[in-house]
Amino acid sequence: MNKEEKTGFMIFCIILALLIIMLPYKMFLFNESYYHSQFRKLDVYSSVGEGKAKETLNEIFSFLKEKQDKIENFNKNELSHMRDVRNLLYKLDILFYVLIFLFALFLLLWSFYYRTEETKEKYKCLFLSFFYSGTICIIIFTTAGLLIVIDFNLAFTLFHKIFFPMGNYTFDPSVSLLKQLFPNKFFYNFSILCAIISILFSVILIALSFVYNRWSIFAKTKE
Counting every residue written for the chain, the total comes to 223
- pLDDT score of 218: 47
Euclidean distance between the first and the last CA atom of the chain, given in angstroms as a whole number: 25
- pLDDT score of 26: 92
Q: Which helix (H) or strand (E) holds 68?
A: none
- pLDDT score of 2: 66
pLDDT by residue (tens digit) across 13-35? 999 999 999 999 899 999 999 99
- pLDDT score of 115: 62
- pLDDT score of 116: 57
- pLDDT score of 177: 94
| Closest of 147, 112, 110, 144 to residue 130, by C-alpha | 110
pLDDT < 70 stretches in the chain: 1-2, 113-122, 167-168, 215-223
Q: H helices of 114-183, where?
A: 119-150, 152-163, 177-181
- pLDDT score of 159: 82
CB 197 within 8 A of CB 24: yes
CB 13 within 8 A of CB 100: no
Question: If phi over 0 gives left and psi between -120 and 50 gives alpha, with beta otherwise, what is residue 114?
Answer: alpha
Contacts of 79 (CB under 8 A, 6+ apart): 70, 71
- pLDDT score of 107: 82
CB 163 within 8 A of CB 155: no
Distance between CA atoms of residues 159 and 118, nearest Å: 47
Domain ranges of the chain: 3-218
- pLDDT score of 1: 63
